Amino acid sequence: MRKNKQRKGFSFKKTGCLVMTILLCAGMVFGLTTKEVKAEVSWPSGITVGAESAIVMEVNTGTILYEKNSHTKRYPASITKIMTTMLALENCELDETVTYSEDAVYKTEGSGIYRNVGEQMSLEDTLYAVMLESANECAYATAEHVTGGDYDAFIKMMNDRATELGCQDTNFTNPHGLPDEQHVTSAYDMALISAAAIKDDMFRTLVSTVRYDLPATNKSLPLAMFNHHKMISNNLTAEYLYDYAIGGKTGFTQAARSTLVTYAEKDGMLLVCVVMKCEGTHFTDTINLFNYCFDNFQMYSVAENETRYSSDVSNSSTMMTQNEAFAQLDEDAMVILPKGADFLETETEVSYEDGGEGAMGSLVYRYGDKVVGRADVVVTGAQVDTYDFAEGNHDIETSDITVLQGKVEEKGNPVVLVVIIIVIAALAVFLFFVIRSKLSSRHWRNMRHPDRQYVRIRNKKRRRRRRRRY
């Protein structure tokens, strides 16, 4: 019996792999040969603060504009309640009813609004008490409510969320910040937590509210509550009012001393400042840090300033240029730099891990050794037309190559020319295999389906040979 030989024909899969390999090699060549020596860049300096730990972060870019002992572990006191409130908003509805247990009432001390066992309040009212009056019993009751009465589960939730945000110096043991030697965090970690929290609209409403009138409950009369943050509230003094302040959270214990988280917004910058272990300088330190940052930094739109990754090549309608780009940089992406800096002095690297929803990845911008922003690479939804590989249409139009050459001349980068040549070579290899496939397919069809008359003659000769043998 004759064995069927496996056909060694064309494989789109193999050719696709070949083309992709060539393109990846091109990318490697491009990536390795276009890396430039870092230019000398300067970062503003010269400010000092009394706080033993401090940090200022731009919320939308995550850029650290100032830091002092930002990873030193310290007691946070009541700024802990930022995490407690954020978790409540992420996991519950504001109209849910919070019932105060014996533990909530009797296992807390210090600041509070004097709730009673069995008292009921809406979660919204409870969170206003947590953030404005720094009520410890309300923070405890919130923790129990979020987890259905399992206080320890809420503490675990706090630490899990901190880890998720990238915190490395944090260990929470309670939801309110009362003294505990194991209850620690750092200015850097609190900046990460605070930056995540302010992105929630309701959280922003809570921290920016100066006065809230708490309605009567089943056990208490109405109560007017005032924000303790002196940069937005003049309930006690107007000395520290700050025009650009949004709000924040105060904290104090004998062990922690004064701690403070504050948000401020100006000129497109949303800043969060954290100061810890202060001896009465927490408000002045924060104001000075905000002024320093607003005076020395500014936001840059990636869409308006990035010219190194332009996707518009030509107005011609050829195979390579007639389609819209199927991906582009996020039009809302921003980078923060020292005032007077050149945007093109930034360097970029590709990240496939931290892109936003629907993003293919992101470009991470660096200025010197500092990350100053990122821009997601997002899919535009544009349809890429297929190319007709019909017989007789195997040539790449001359105008395509002319367009690419024009783009290279525009960029003035000889490395790009190398990459373009490799890409064209890859396309040529692809077309060669397509043509070869068509010719090979015809040959095999002819071999498999010969003329019927030829088959009858061949079979007749075979029968005669068999008769002669016998």
Active site positions, annotated: 78, 81, 134
Name residue 444's amino acid.
W
Start-to-end CA span in the chain (Å): 20
DSSP assignments along 69-101, one per residue: STTS-B--GGGGHHHHHHHHHHHS-TTPEEE--
Q: How far apart are the C-alpha atoms of 416 and 420, rounded to whole Å?
A: 6
Contact by Cβ (8 Å): 219, 118: yes
Q: How many CB atoms lie within 10 A of CB 141?
A: 28
* Beta-strand pair 97-99/64-68: unpaired
Contact by Cβ (8 Å): 277, 310: no
Contact by Cβ (8 Å): 285, 278: yes
Tokens representing residue 142 in the block: 């919130």
Q: How far apart are the C-alpha atoms of 296 and 76, rounded to whole Å?
A: 29
Tally: H helices and E strands in the chain: 13, 15
DSSP 8-state assignment for residue 93:
-
Q: How far apart are the C-alpha atoms of 185 and 259, rounded to whole Å?
A: 12
The distance from CA 212 to its chain's CA centroid, rounded to whole angstroms, is: 34
